[in-house]
Amino acid sequence: MTKAIRVENADTSDYQVVVEIWDKGQDGQPDVLASSQVLAYPTSMTDSNTYLTSTRYLIVKEKAD
């Protein structure tokens, strides 16, 4: 089942957030980075193409300098 989700940068600091969308590899293949979104400021949110399925997952992390 597909689940639409939103991730928001709710921090008021200057640190940015990165949301990576990964598709699980099939038949022993490595996982594939489908897209990456930078949430550069407070209240910025992921776009409408951000969703989960049984073969898709997200990684949310602080953007490296």
Beta carbons within 8 Å of 31's beta carbon, 6+ residues apart: 22, 23, 24, 25
Written as tens digits, the pLDDT of the chain (65 aa) is 899 999 999 989 889 999 999 999 999 999 999 999 999 999 999 998 899 999 999 999 999 87
State the pTM of this model: 0.89
Report the pLDDT value the prediction gives residue 65, as an integer from 0 to 100: 75
Q: What are phi and psi of 20, to 5 degrees?
A: -100, 135
Going from the C-alpha of 35 to that of each of 11, 14, 43, the distances in angstroms are 22, 23, 20
